[in-house]
């Protein structure tokens, strides 16, 4: 099963190498990884989608927690959350098919962000299913280039995975024993 982990890390150089190295070294499968700064400039948030059964995910979380630069790990898979990916698609678009492509763009509430003599560049955001669907719909026109971000996610409502003052967290994760 695929799990979505949201991981708060110190915004240090090297932290991405630590996390990526951990996954490859211990043989965990990363589906996607997205990282960026948070509202606190000293903290970055990684959203990691990882494949594995509960036992594997437990180990992944614990091994991540063991990294000194990791502040907090939350598995939000089972919780209500919003998740998004962003894709840019450059698709062949002769004048004869542009109308059809623009209809598809409309349906998916995507946007055309650039136009070439024979191509259109489309930006779409959405959850994984929607992104997959728009890609499938555009395939018949021949996709020339595609770039896709990893998933980012956030809990719904007034619940947070952030740490208070950026300072609590790790211990809570370990409370189960």
Partner 1 sequence: MKLSGAQILVKCLEEEKVEAIFGYPGGAVLDIYDALYDSPLKHYLVRHEQGAAHAADGYARATGRPGVCIATSGPGATNLVTGLATAYMDSIPLVAFTGQVATHLLGRDSFQEADIYGITLPITKHNFLVKDVKDLARVIKEAFHLATTGRPGPVLIDIPKDVSQKKAKFDYPEVPRLRGYRPVLDGHPEKISEAAAAIAEARRPVIYAGGGVISSGASEELRQLAELCVIPVTTTLMGKGAFPENHPLSLGMLGMHGTKYANYAVSECDLLIAIGARFDDRVTGRIDAFAPKARIIHIDIDPAEIGKNVRVDIPIVGDVKRVLQQLLKRVQAGMETEWHAKIREWKEKYPLKYEQNGKIKPQFVVEQIYEVTKGEAIITTEVGQNQMWAAQFYTFTKPRTFISSGGLGTMGYGLPAAIGAQIGRPGETVFDIAGDGSIQMNIQELATAVAYKLPIKVAILNNNYLGMVRQWQEIFYNGRLAYTDISGPDFVKLAEAYGAVGMRVTEPKDVRRALEEAMQVKDRPVLIDFIIDREENVFPMVPPGGAINEMLEG
Nearer to partner 1, 50 or 87 (CB): 50
Select 53 or 136, whichever has its Cβ closest to partner 1.
53
- One DSSP character per residue, the chain reads -EEEEEEEEE--TTHHHHHHHHHHHTT-EEEEEEEEE-SSTTEEEEEEEEE--HHHHHHHHHHHHHSTTEEEEEE-TTS-EEEEEEEEEEEE--HHHHHHHHHHHHHTT-EEEEE-SSEEEEEEEE-HHHHHHHHHHHGGG-EEEEEEPPPEEEESTT---S-GGGT--HHHHTTT-
Shortest spacing between CB 128 and partner 1, in angstroms: 29
Q: In angstroms, what is the minimal distance from the CB of 30 to partner 1?
A: 16
Q: Which is nearer to partner 1, 117 or 174 (CB)?
A: 174
The site for partner 1 (CB under 8 A) is made up of 9-10, 13-14, 17-18, 21-22, 25, 55, 58-59, 62-63, 65-71, 163, 166-171, 174-175, 177
């Amino acid at each position: 099963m695929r799990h979505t982990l949201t991981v708060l890390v110190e915004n240090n150089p090297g932290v991405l190498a630590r996390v990526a190295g951990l996954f490859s070294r211990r043989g965990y499968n990363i589906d996607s990884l997205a990282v960026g700064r948070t509202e606190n400039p000293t903290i970055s948030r990684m959203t990691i989608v990882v494949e594995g059964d509960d036992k594997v995910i437990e180990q992944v979380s614990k091994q991540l927690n063991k990294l000194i630069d990791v502040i907090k790990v939350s598995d939000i898979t089972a919780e209500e959350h919003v998740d998004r990916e962003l894709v840019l698609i450059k698709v062949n678009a002769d004048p004869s098919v542009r109308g059809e492509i623009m209809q598809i763009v409309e349906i998916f509430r995507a946007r055309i962000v650039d136009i070439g003599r024979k191509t259109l560049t489309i930006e779409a955001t959405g959850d994984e299913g929607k992104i997959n669907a728009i890609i499938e719909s555009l395939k018949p026109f021949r996709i020339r280039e595609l770039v896709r971000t990893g998933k980012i996610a956030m809990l719904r409502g007034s619940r947070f995975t952030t740490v208070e003052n950026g300072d609590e967290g790790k211990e809570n994760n370990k409370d189960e024993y």
